[in-house]
Structure 1
């Protein structure tokens, strides 16, 4: 997820047992051109298996991007054919490829032919309800040498509206023999069980629900493997995690950008903790405003500590 699954966040998710953590989406041409931001997104130290997600619409750039990712240590290259953002689809990449199956196949063939590591694909059901192409695209992907497909149970035109159609993913599973991963609206243990049952998928992918909860993918995976429902980390651990992440973002990006990147994560972490403690949105808004107005790192860290300590005694009262 662009702007979310950067290296510090992926490290934390990996620590909590996530089976795979995928990089932010990287434009192939951007990576091939040596853009510093693209290289930053592709970094992998401390994340277990290194999955680099690439987006592109030209075979030469997709092949070159895959080669660069492999040379930089990637264990898997994932091709994004599901991003619904207009800025991506206008450039004929992401979910725009759901309207051009033949073009998508050429890109997959280019990536598979360029590297020795596995190539996987992330897609949606189709462009809209009248063009559900995921089963065909997955079948063609397998024929091209792709080793796994992940399917978000919405069309591009839905963006994130409505409810993900987990049942529709079953058609993809029936079309291929490679592993199929289901994605979309997965937030709880019960969701995970229902998603597997409805889709027939081999695994699930946690997306937006991991915001503020880097432990969630690992907990979901453990639940599906064992049936055990782990509790969220203690408030003190959530506090310490967020302070650690804040320091990591400053180290990753420098003070100005690091502080900016941290803001959304701080907000999400406060929301998650407050929701579990049945505290109001006003509590979250108050602390978010206070923390985001502060610029000195030591004071931000102190504010995070104070907020979570207050949350701890409020929830215990």
Structure 2
């Protein structure tokens, strides 16, 4: 439900808002009216586009996602995942600029970065997920009693065998343990659930064979005739095409122009238009720069321009096309092929 909010005059001279585009700034002002009394709202570009841009069909959810990304990079909003697994956002400086008389309780989960102690709309109190996922307090270390030193005796021939004798000892050499030394039963009980790690592994470490080489397995690097197909070259992205346009300009265009061109190029690529046609439209735009909205018409001109001009299909190609405004002195000679 939309609400009446306050916009301070200082917002139009804010350096943070100056970092984003005009469309992102309008989206930010619209979020002020859609967020709840704690500055939280759903992070869904389709929902935001339907609420804030209903009469601007050209500003699609793709453009709204770009607006939200700019606002997040400028530190104006924070996008997070709630304890219910859904995406949400909140306005970072909400409580500094919005004074709510009687704020209602929020139904949106809290932000795990900024609102850890605030009331969670899902948990109806302190967020249980954040409380359970918090780091446990450090445990105190218990001092262990000092152990008696282990003694190793090598009894002479004829001496009595001690009570505690290792079964694995060799003939003529017996190892005795003091009464305070841990027995195998005590060690097994103390180390229950913990598997000892052998000092020396019987297996040698795995190594790559000498003939291996990095790269694709589709092609055989050692054969003269390829046994597979190479991967197709990746198509240029909207950012690549705009970067090519900026390279041919004498001076770097303003940021709003670059952003507008990037959105139009991205939309044209989404429609399936070939990058070469878009590149031709950008070349025409660089030769005659106008408002970025005319780029679509220039791309259409690059796609469907006829190099022959207005030449009738039944006329000879070596004759110029018919011009209705021509008034030759000798009509029979001028239109000998068409009369």
TM-score, normalising length: structure 2: 0.21
More strand by share: 1
TM-score, normalising length: structure 1: 0.22
More helix by share: 1
Q: Which has the larger radius of gyration?
A: 2
